[in-house]
């Protein structure tokens, strides 16, 4: 029998920064599943690397992005192996995989699993913002039928009147709308403009990244932290 604390402690020992368990009953996912729990795993990004993102992504950030994705996928694979060995079903969702290019969607939204797992809220920048590290985290998820204790979902944004990310976006892709679980991504973000700029950055930085909207967030910065 895999209890929640044992699994959380093990995943943290694999050097994850945050772990939470989401109850998936009644939650709409792009790819429907009979699995009832989502394990949300976050790895914190390096502050000096993120602080260096000013007018656009650096090659160091692009490399960090790749390495952190590899680390997240390795942690998710290990957690899956552990759950399978205990007799449960488990499916790792890749950190960074777009399965629908037209709609720009992954198989499952890590951000949705993460808010349901109590890790944070969706900021005006349309990213998961955690109390501990702001939006300076990357995410991965594992779906399972293990009877893990689900967290209290987070449903309220703490961005308040802050709009720093809205003004910082180089292509004006962020609308500034305050998130609730009913807010659609399209209400918050012009995905086409954001996608265009991340693709353009591939040729200069080496990866489809930007990062300005999470670099400027006061919740992640060591100076001027709001909470
Ligand atoms: C496709 C994709 C993109 C596309 C589209 C962006 C987007 N926001 O969807 C493009 C190329 C533009 C992009 C850009 C970026 N991306 Co991207 N991207 C993805 C990917 C692969 C899929 C996203 C997806 O399926 N979206 C579908 C929509 C419907 O869902 P969503 O946007 O995830 O979340 C909405 C809903 O879930 C809802 N919601 C949240 N909780 C709940 C709860 C309930 C009950 C309900 C009903 C709804 C709800 O709120 C959100 C906003 O409306 C994910 C990885 C993944 N599998 O999740 C990474 C991911 C979202 N990207 C990420 C990042 C960091 C970026 C960039 C900063 C680029 C970079 N790395 O430098 C930019 C920032 C864009 C931005 N401000 O949002 C991170 C976000 C980390 C974080 N702290 O949140 C992710 C999670 C990758 C990862 N492994 O960490 N990305």
| pLDDT tens, residue by residue, 62-119 | 999 999 999 999 999 999 999 999 999 999 999 999 999 999 999 999 999 999 999 9
- Ligand 1 close to Cβ of residue 198 (< 6 A): yes
Q: Exposed (0-12), middle (13-18) or buried (19+): which is 190, by Cβ within 10 Å?
A: middle
Is 222 within a domain? no
Q: For a ligand 1 pocket test, name from 23, 111, 171, 204 the mutation site with the most ligand atoms within 8 angstroms of its C-beta.
A: 111
Is 226 within a domain? no
Is 227 within a domain? no
Supply the pLDDT for residue 91: 95
Is 220 within a domain? no
| pLDDT tens, residue by residue, 28-47 | 888 778 899 999 999 999 99
Pairing type for strands 90-93 and 137-144 reads: antiparallel
Distant-in-sequence, close-in-space partners of 68: CB < 8 Å, separation ≥ 6: 43, 45, 95, 138
Q: What is the C-alpha separation between 8 and 16, in angstroms, rounded?
A: 9
Distances (CA, A) of 85 to 4, 81, 82: 15, 6, 5
Is 176 within a domain? yes
Nearest Cα residue to 112 out of 217, 175, 185, 176? 185
CA of 110 to the centre of ligand 1 (A): 7
CA of 189 to the centre of ligand 1 (A): 10
Number of structural domains the chain divides into: 1
Q: For a ligand 1 pocket test, name from 72, 112, 214 the mutation site with the most ligand atoms within 8 angstroms of its C-beta.
A: 112
Would you state the structure tokens that stand for residue 54, as one six-digit string?
Answer: 């000013």
CA of 86 to the centre of ligand 1 (A): 31
Nearest Cα residue to 2 out of 25, 21, 29? 21
Q: What is the C-alpha separation between 223 and 217, in angstroms, rounded?
A: 11
Phi, psi of 120, rounded to the nearest 5 degrees: 175, -175
Is 66 within a domain? yes
Is 62 within a domain? yes
Shortest-distance atom of ligand 1 to CA 211: 72
Is 58 within a domain? yes
| pLDDT tens, residue by residue, 213-227 | 999 999 988 754 444
The reported pTM is 0.97
Supply the pLDDT for residue 1: 65
Supply the pLDDT for residue 83: 97
């Amino acid at each position: 029998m895999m209890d929640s604390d044992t699994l959380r402690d093990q995943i943290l020992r694999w050097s994850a920064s945050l772990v939470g368990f989401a109850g998936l009953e009644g939650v709409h996912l792009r790819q429907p599943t009979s699995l009832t729990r989502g394990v949300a795993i976050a790895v914190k990004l390096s502050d000096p690397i993120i602080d260096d993102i000013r007018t656009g992504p650096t090659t160091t950030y692009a490399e960090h992005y790749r390495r952190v994705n590899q680390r997240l996928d390795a942690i998710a694979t290990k957690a899956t192996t552990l759950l399978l060995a205990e007799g449960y079903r488990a499916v790792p969702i890749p950190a960074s995989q777009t399965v629908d290019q037209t709609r720009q969607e992954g198989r499952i939204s890590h951000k949705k699993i993460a808010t349901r797992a109590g890790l944070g809220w969706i900021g005006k920048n349309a990213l998961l913002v955690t109390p501990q590290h702001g939006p300076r985290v990357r995410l991965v998820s594992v779906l399972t039928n293990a009877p893990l204790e689900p967290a209290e979902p987070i449903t309220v944004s703490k961005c308040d009147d802050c709009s720093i990310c809205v003004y910082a976006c180089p292509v004006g892709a962020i609308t500034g709308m305050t998130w609730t679980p009913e807010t659609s991504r399209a209400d918050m973000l012009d995905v086409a403009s954001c996608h265009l700029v991340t693709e353009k950055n591939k040729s200069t930085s080496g990866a489809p990244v930007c990062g300005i909207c999470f670099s400027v967030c006061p919740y992640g910065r060591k100076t001027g932290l709001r909470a």
